[in-house]
Structure formats: C-alpha cells, structure tokens
C-alpha cells in the first residue's frame, strides 16, 4: 500500500501454480512437473488504474537460481538487500500492458516457517512482514512509495488435499509490528487458527485469538469472516471471483484501529469443473 493509502499492488510468483487449471489437468494425466507451471500474478489497485495479469509459462520460458527467478519476460532478483521485480506482462481478456520495476527493501528478515495442516505438507512463513516498497511503472503510469509485506508458501501436495476454506489477513500496527491471522476451516473439523504478531525486533509472538466476526458475502456469494473483538467493516473490495476474494477491512485490535489486507479462498469452488473451465480466460498459458 502507498503511504497515502491511494494505491495498492499485489504480486505472487508461482512455481507450480496452485490456481492453474493446466497444472491440475497435468496432475490428472500423471506426475506433473511444477517447474513447467510458473507464473507471475500482478494486481494493481489504483484509482482508475486497476489491472490484473497472470500468464502461465512453461519450463522453457523460465529459469531459477538462488538469487534470480525468470518467468518469461518478467523476473525477480535479490541482491542481498533489495528484491527487484521487473514486470512485463499483458492483461487478459483486455490486452492492457503492465510494465516497469518494483523494489522492495525488507526492514527485518525472518526465518519463521510453520505447518498449516496436521500432516505438515503445507508450510507458510513471512520472509519480511514489514518492508518498504517503491513502484515505478510506465504502463500504467504509476510511481509511488509505501509499506509492503513479503511471505512464502510451499506444499508437497495439491492445495485441495490439505484445505477446504481459509481466511487470511495482515495488518500493520503503529509500532511497526505486523499482525497476522491465518484462519482455516473444514466441515466436521475444529478450526485451525494462527494468531501471530511479528515485531520490528525480529520476534514472533503468539497472541490470543479474537472471536469470529462474520462479513457480508461477496457478489459471488463466498462466505468470509475476520478475527476481531469488535465489528469489522469492509473498506474496499479489491478482488471478487467465484473462488477467491481480497478486500481491505477496518477492524480493531487491543484498542488500536487498523486496516487489514484480507483474503478468502474457497477450495471446493476452485476445483469445481465449472471454475476450472473458466480459469483459462483469465490465466492464459505460454508453453
């Protein structure tokens, strides 16, 4: 998010894209190679300049090393201090270009990683929950600075085997801490919740889990919720799809009013045949 709150951006670099219908179809035909299903998802949330791109690339278009990840015409690189993302992507179905460079400077690096499921086949951990970001795009013409969050997810099985639904949120506190709630639900099972505070000193502090606050269903009728002791307000709806939503929420924690990035994923919706048939229209593939 920009310091003035007027701009936002989300980037996700995939090796073995969990949302890819092509990867799912390849797994059904036998053992699929995740390196053959890479993508850079870019979503821009600026007034009058909303753009979204996610083109999957086959293995011959991609390369990875310890400090660089090339995905077709885009790439990510790490120099020990700064993560640079050079973007050259095209949106679909309307062919708007997203082109430029983003730089991210971690304020504190974490080596924290934790299983998300009982079988420990899916892991998550913030690499830098509090970072500074500089956005310099020429398509669209956007330049701004702000605060950012950087994390990592990995799994050794398809997402539908480990999860049903989750609600995730992160919020920046006045003291520079980052508050994260990872709330996972499944029919017939107890909720599994991670409630954590990542401090500027590099410590990870478990916190008491607030009660559930129901949120209005999305336009696609996705159920969603947030952990908060007080009522929660949807400040802005950023993404609303048949299986996934992203929004900015206003809530309160320990008497401090906060704004959270909040996401909900419905795995049954994701893997439904209808949604899998729709996804190529938003996620083209270059083999």
Q: Where are the domains of the chain?
A: 7-286
Confidence label for 39 from pLDDT (cuts 50, 70 and 90): very high
Residue 188: other Cβ atoms inside 10 A: 5
CB of 270 closer than 8 Å to CB of 282: no
47: pLDDT strictly greater than 90: no
pLDDT at 228: 96
Stretch 82-96: mean pLDDT:
96
Task: Name which of 37-41, 44-48, 131-135, 218-222 the model is least confident about.
Answer: 44-48
User: How much is the pLDDT for 251?
Assistant: 97
pTM: 0.95
Q: 120 by DSSP, 3-state: which?
A: coil
Asked if residue 154 lies in contact with residue 122, where contact means CB atoms within 8 angstroms, the answer is yes
Is the pLDDT assigned to residue 31 strictly greater than 90? Answer: no
């Amino acid at each position: 998010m920009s310091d003035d709150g007027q701009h936002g951006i989300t980037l996700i670099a995939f090796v073995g894209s969990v949302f890819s219908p092509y990867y799912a179809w390849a797994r059904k035909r036998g053992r699929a190679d995740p390196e053959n299903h890479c993508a850079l998802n870019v979503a821009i949330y600026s007034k009058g300049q909303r753009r979204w791109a996610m083109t999957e690339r086959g293995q011959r278009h991609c390369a990875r090393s310890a400090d660089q990840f090339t995905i077709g015409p885009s790439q990510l690189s790490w120099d020990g201090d700064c993560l640079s993302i050079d973007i050259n992507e095209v949106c679909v179905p309307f062919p708007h270009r997203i082109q430029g460079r983003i730089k991210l400077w971690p304020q504190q690096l974490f080596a924290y990683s934790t299983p998300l499921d009982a079988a420990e086949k899916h892991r998550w951990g913030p690499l830098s929950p509090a970072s500074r970001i500089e956005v310099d795009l020429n398509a669209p013409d956007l330049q701004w600075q702000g605060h950012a969050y950087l994390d990592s997810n990995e799994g050794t099985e398809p997402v539908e085997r480990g999860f049903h639904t989750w609600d995730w949120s992160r919020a920046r506190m006045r003291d520079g801490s980052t508050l994260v709630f990872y709330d996972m639900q499944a029919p017939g099972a107890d909720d599994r919740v991670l409630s954590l505070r990542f401090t500027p000193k590099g410590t990870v502090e478990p916190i008491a889990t607030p009660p559930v606050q129901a949120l209005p269903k999305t336009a696609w009728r996705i159920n969603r919720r947030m952990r908060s002791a007080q009522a929660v307000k949807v400040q802005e709806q950023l993404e609303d799809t048949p299986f996934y939503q992203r929004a900015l929420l206003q809530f309160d924690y320990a008497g401090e009013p906060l704004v959270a990035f909040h996401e909900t994923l419905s795995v049954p919706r994701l893997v439904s045949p209808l949604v899998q048939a729709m996804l190529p229209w938003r996620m083209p593939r270059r083999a």
